[in-house]
Structure 1
Amino acid sequence: RYEEEEEELDLDPGGNMWVQTLQQQQVMHRQYRDQSGAAEAWWHNAKEYMGKIL
C-alpha cells in the first residue's frame, strides 16, 4: 500500500515544480559562488598590485 502512494506522488505536478525550484536554487548558488570567488581573486590581485607600488 505504501508503494502505491509513492507512485501517486511521482505523478504529482507539484512535485515536479518542487524539483525545478531546487534546480534553480542550485544554479543561483553556483552563480553566487563563482561571483564571490572572482571578487576574492580581484581583491587579492589588487592588494598585491598596491604592495608593489607602495
Structure 2
Amino acid sequence: MAKSFGCSQEGCAFEIHSEDEGEIVSMVREHAQNVHGMSMNEGDIKSGIQEMH
C-alpha cells in the first residue's frame, strides 16, 4: 500500500508518495536538510508517514 509524507513547514508544499518507507525516509531527510537546513531522525519521519487509502 502506498504511503505519503508531507512537509509540515509553513508554506512548503513538499510531499512524497511511495510504497517504500525507506525511500520516504531518505527523501524527507534530503528535503529537510537541503531546503530547510534541518536534520530529522528516522523515528520522527516514520511517525509522520501516513497510509494512503
**Structure 2 length as normaliser, TM-score?**
0.31
Higher strand share: 2
**Structure 1 length as normaliser, TM-score?**
0.31
**Which one has the largest radius of gyration?**
1
Higher relative contact order (CA 8 A, sep 6+): 2
